[in-house]
Each structure stands twice: as structure tokens, then as C-alpha cells.
Chain A
Amino acid sequence: MGIAIYMLTFLLLLIGVYALVAKKNLVRIIMGIAILEYAVNLLLVLVGYRRDGTPPILPRGQTAAELAARAVDPLPQALVLTSIVIGLSVTALAVALAVRLYDKYGTFDMNDIRNLRG
């Protein structure tokens, strides 16, 4: 495992960025947004991961130092919850915009939605 899991996360990140940059269909772009966000969330969880780690809850009869030596880092998990909520709202907004764009243009294809010069 070790470095490989980080490489796979990085690959997932690149797939997301590729979909955002290269795809022309609004739905595929939104899927790219989702993949990109999952990759980042996965990276955050991995940062706090520890092989054979225990849940970061103090059991009866154990000292804090013993727990700290074995538990996974709980902070990135808290961050990921926030990040998931932010990702959800961004995705919802993107879907809403895509629906409105479909109403106006009758297509999801970015090649046909091209009034602006960029």
C-alpha cells in the first residue's frame, strides 16, 4: 500500500480535472466536479489514516496517551464532513444552472452554448 494509495488518489484528481477541462457535455462536466471533490475528500481522509488504527474515542480504562498512540487522526474527518457539504451545494448549484441552460438552449453541449468570447 503506502505510496500507491496516494498515487491512485492523485490519478482520481487528474481524471476529475480532465473531465472539467476537456469534456463539452454539461452532465459530464458535473460528473467531473463530483470526481474531483471525491478525490480531494479521499486525500483529506488519507492524511489522518493510520494502518490498523482504532476509532478516536477514549474507551474506559485507557489513558489519553495510549489512545493517541493508536487512534486515527479525527480532525481530517471533521474537515471532510464540512468539505462534503460544500461539495454538495456546489454540485446542486451546477445542476440547477445546467437545467436552466437546457431550458434556454435545448442542449447540454457546450459547443452549442457559446455566446461569450472567453
Chain B
Amino acid sequence: MKELVPVLVGLPLGAAFLVAILAHVRGGARLTGALATLAVAANLALGIGLWAAAAGQDQPGAKSAVWTVWAGRWDGQTELDQATGQQRTRPIGIQLVWDGLSRFMVIVVSFVAFAVIVFSGAYMRRFTTVWLFHTLFLLMTGAMIGVVLAGDLFNLYVFIEVAAMASYGLVAFGTEREELEAAFKYLVLGVVASSFILVGIAILYSLTGQLNMARVAAALGELGTSPAVLLAAGCLLGGLALKAAMVPFHSWLPDAHPSAPAPISAMLSGLLIKTVGVYAIARLVFGVLGVHAVYANVLIALGVSSMVVGMLLALGQWDLKRLLAYSSISQAGYMILALGVAASLLPHNRALAGLCAFGALFHLFNHAAFKSLLFLCSGSIEQATGTRQLREMGGLVRRMPVTGWCCRIGALSIAGVPPFNGFFSKIIIIVALALAGRVVLCGIAAAVAVGTLLMYVKVQRYALDGQPGPRVAAARESHWAMGAGMAILAAVCLLAGVALSVGPLKEHLLGPAGEALLGGAKLASGVAMGGGQ
């Protein structure tokens, strides 16, 4: 089964090129949407199949199954270790890792991508050259899956760049004034971020002579936190925080995300800032750099500032998509804060650190579902009413029942109202902070949750309830395919809260993800030394 893991990356990337070819065949341009949908659906099915196969190998109560695949079977040469006189394998190839964390992330990415591509089938009809959209969409999806599977640092960087480049193109997709301006600013800051990531990787390579994450981690364990390691970590964390739009590196996000077409806003806010931002930060801190108080404090500071500043800026917005974009900064702050506290707790209280990591990953999943849902709703509303301004809306639930109710479910989820999924992950994070004795952080997290609630009460009050304004009175419900895309995500928001916090999905999806994250360096190094199982 494990030979199929590279297909998860290859299928979307291959389909991206097929779409470009198909578009130039006579009569083929109309079929690109179907091909893209098929490819994403097949990838989702393959991801679930591989997850089930790997979960079947999990030993109950022990560490989850880890599969590693060497690209091109370059699994390294067996050589005689001069010091110990033993045979050992030296990893020289590119490694893909299918552990608890990456299989969780693959399922999140392919699932949201599937809902978004279903929605965009009808939504993208108003644009010309839609095949370009499908090509870039598949490139971005494939690259994000590559990011979460990457087992070596340079491979991680390459996939981050491919995903980022596709996203620059997609932000500019409308090619109107604002889209182009936002895309250019986004590109400039993206280049700065990736340059610093590459500088960090170069320093780590010069220190350790390795690029494989597990090998770098093992070598860094001996170096500790020397100034050179701290410089490398600063470059890497700074670059990734810029990619994740953590405050104070957030200024590009509220321009870039709302300027893209709605399905792409959903992908950028729901997935991209999490895979190339939160996931990569988590993987590097826990799996490569090693858990040190310095990194934990940096993460906590970034998380708290993002939560508070993002929430305050979002409260003042009247443009629906800008409000959602600022709110993404604030919600990503929750994840980074919980990860930072998990890192600070890991050396002395593993159980509580596990709870924090569990809350962070649970919130990552939930945020991917409800923020994508809200952006899709904003697209549906914008298409029907021609406006993004909350003051010009009103009474949408009556005119557009499907969009309106999906939007309400999304708003209640992100506001943290039980029984929707946002409530569960926020309460887990807040309780974990309280148990850890971090009273101030706990208070801030609770206060930001109240602010978020206010923000989405405002959205519901102005957009969904009240008397229909002149623009809304003429609005009609959107195409059924858009409704279907939103309904899939709304169903997840409704069910995931309970489904993921108890039962088999917790045992095999979220639980192993948290374990793999905390196990980090040790687990992965065991695998890399042994060359996989």
C-alpha cells in the first residue's frame, strides 16, 4: 500500500498538466472542470483509503503506524560505520512520510479542496479561461499535499514555493486593478518569506550536513541552541510566520485573500496559511529544531498577538470578505498559541501537552471547515447581490435560504456556539490553558472568543436577518452545485464537533496526529535510521 503515497502528490500535479492539454483540444475546454473535480475526488478517496490502511496497522495505546517512501527508491546506501563497526543506512534520497500528522493533514486538504471544486463548478462560469483556474487549483492542491508529506527540508521548501506560486496567480485571477495590486504585494512578501526560509535551511545544512528532517533533528540535538542554530531558527520561523500571516507579519493577508475569487479565498484562508504556515511551523519546532523554551515563547507571543490584533481589526470591518480574512489571522493565532504552550509543557507534562496539541489540530480542522464555508457563502452572496458590504445586505436568509443557513452554521461554528465544531476545539484549548496554570493566556483566549462571537453576531444581524435591502430583494438562490459545496462543509461543521472528540475518528485521525506531532524528532529518526518498515 505504501507505494501509493507518492500518487497523492502526483495525481493532482499530473491532472494539472492534463487540464492544460485538454483545454487546447477542440471541445475539451468545457470538460476541464469535470477532470479537475474527478482528480480531486480520486485524491480524496485515495487519501481516505491510505489512512484506513495505515490506521489498521496502529497498535492500540502505542505509537501510530509510520510509512516512509523514498522517491525513486533512492533509499540510501548501506555503509560500514567506522566508529561502531555496524552496518547503517545513510538517507540520501527524497523521503515522503505518511505518519499520523501527515495523514490527518492530507485528509483535511483533500476534503476542503473537494468541497471547493464542487462549488467552483458553477461559480467560475462568470470568468473566461476557466481552465487556467483549474490548472492552478490542482497545482496548489498537489503542492500543499507535498508540503505535508515532505520528509526533508529542501523538498518542503520546493513544495511551499509551488503552492505559493500557484496562489499568486490565483489571487490575480480576476486581472482587475485590485486583484493585480494585491497579487503583486502578496508576491513580494512571499519572496521575502521564502528567501528567509531557504537561508534558514542553508544554515541548518551547513551545521549538520543533512537535509532529512529526522537526521537534522538528531544532529541538532547534539548542538543544542548555539547562536548559529538560533539564527537558522529565526530565519525559518520568521519566514513561515510571514507565510502564515502571524501579527506583526500580517499586512498582506487582508488584501490578498479577499481579492481572489471566492473559492480561492476559501482555499487560501482555509488551507494554505495552515499547511505552509501552521503545519510547517509545528513540524519544524517539534520535529526538527527540538522543543526549547525559546521557540515555545516565540510561538506563544506570535499566537497571542495574532489572536488579539486580528480580532480587533476584524470587528471594525464592514466588507464581509475582509472581515473573514482578519478573522483568519485571529483563529490561526489560537492554533499557534496552543502549539506554543504544548511545546513549553512537553518536557515535564506530556499528557497536558498532548491535550494542547490535540486542541490545536482540532481547531485547525474545524477552522478549515468553517472558514472555507464562510468564504464560499460570501462568494455566493456576492454573486447574487453584487455587493460585499454588510450594510447593503439584510434578510438574506429569506431570499437565499441555502446560502443563508449555511452562512449561519458557519458563523455559529466560528463563534464557538455549542453544538457546532468551533465550540469543542476552543473549549479544549481554553481548558488546557487553564489546567496548565497559564491564567493570563486562558483569559485572553476566552476574551478573544467573546470578541469573535460579537463579530459574527454582527455578520448575522446585518447580512442574514432584518429587512431585505434593494440589492437583496432582487437576489435569487445560487446554482445547486454551489449549494452542494457549501452543504458538505456545513454538515462537517455540524457533525465534526462530536465525531472527532470521541470514538474511532479520535482514535485514528486526530489522536495519532497529536502523538506524531509531539513524538516529533524521536519517532521520525527511528524511521529514517531503519529506512522505513
Contact = CB atoms under 8 A, between A and B. Distances in A.
A2 B169 CA distance: 41
Contacts of A115: 177-178, 181
A82 B192 contact: no
Given A33-B191, A89-B165, A90-B191, A104 B202 contact: no
Interface residues of B, number: 34
B149 to A, nearest CB: 18
Contacts of B165: 86, 89-90, 93
B318 interface: no
A40 B202 contact: yes
A29 B188 contact: yes
B202 A47 contact: yes
B13 to A, nearest CB: 15
Contacts of B187: 90, 93-94, 97
Interface in A34-60: 36-37, 39-40, 43-44, 47
Contacts of A113: 177, 181
Contacts of B211: 75
B118 interface: no
B177 A40 contact: no
Contact of A93 (B168, B202, B251): B168
Nearest to B322: A117
A94 B189 CA distance: 12
Given A98-B184, A115-B177, A83 B198 contact: yes
A61 interface: no
A115 B176 CA distance: 11
Interface string A75-96: 1100100110010011001100
B177 A104 contact: yes
Contacts of B515: none
A13 B195 CA distance: 9
B99 interface: no
B191 A97 contact: no
Nearest to B92: A75
A20 interface: yes
A95 to B, nearest CB: 11
A32 to B, nearest CB: 8
Contacts of B183: 97
B87 interface: no
Contact of B175 (A29, A47, A100): A100
B75 interface: no
A25 to B, nearest CB: 12
B484 to A, nearest CB: 33
Nearest to A86: B161
B264 interface: no
Contacts of B206: 47
Interface string B182-220: 111101101110110011001001100001000000000
A105 B177 contact: yes
A100 B169 contact: no
A116 interface: yes
Contact of A101 (B161, B184, B205): B184
Contacts of A43: 199, 202
Nearest to A9: B199
Contacts of A40: 195, 198-199, 202
Nearest to A98: B184
A72 interface: no
A17 B184 contact: no
A36 B178 contact: no
B199 A13 contact: yes
Contacts of A76: 202, 205
Nearest to B191: A33
Contacts of A33: 188, 191
B154 interface: yes
B191 A44 contact: no
A100 to B, nearest CB: 5
A38 to B, nearest CB: 10
A55 B188 CA distance: 36
A20 B158 contact: no
Contacts of B185: 116, 118
Contact of A36 (B172, B195, B202, B255): B195
B158 A86 contact: yes
B253 to A, nearest CB: 10
25 contacts: A33-B191, A36-B195, A37-B191, A37-B195, A40-B195, A40-B198, A40-B202, A75-B211, A76-B205, A86-B194, A90-B190, A90-B191, A93-B165, A94-B184, A94-B187, A97-B168, A97-B172, A97-B187, A100-B172, A101-B180, A115-B177, A116-B182, A116-B255, A116-B259, A118-B254
Q: Which 3 residue pairs across A and B have the least CB separation, nearest first?
A: A47-B206, A116-B255, A97-B184
Interface of A: 13, 16-17, 20, 26, 29, 33, 36-37, 39-40, 43-44, 47, 75-76, 79, 82-83, 86, 89-90, 93-94, 97-98, 100-101, 104-105, 113-118
Interface of B: 154, 158, 161, 165, 168-169, 172, 175-178, 180-185, 187-188, 190-192, 194-195, 198-199, 202, 205-206, 211, 251, 254-255, 259
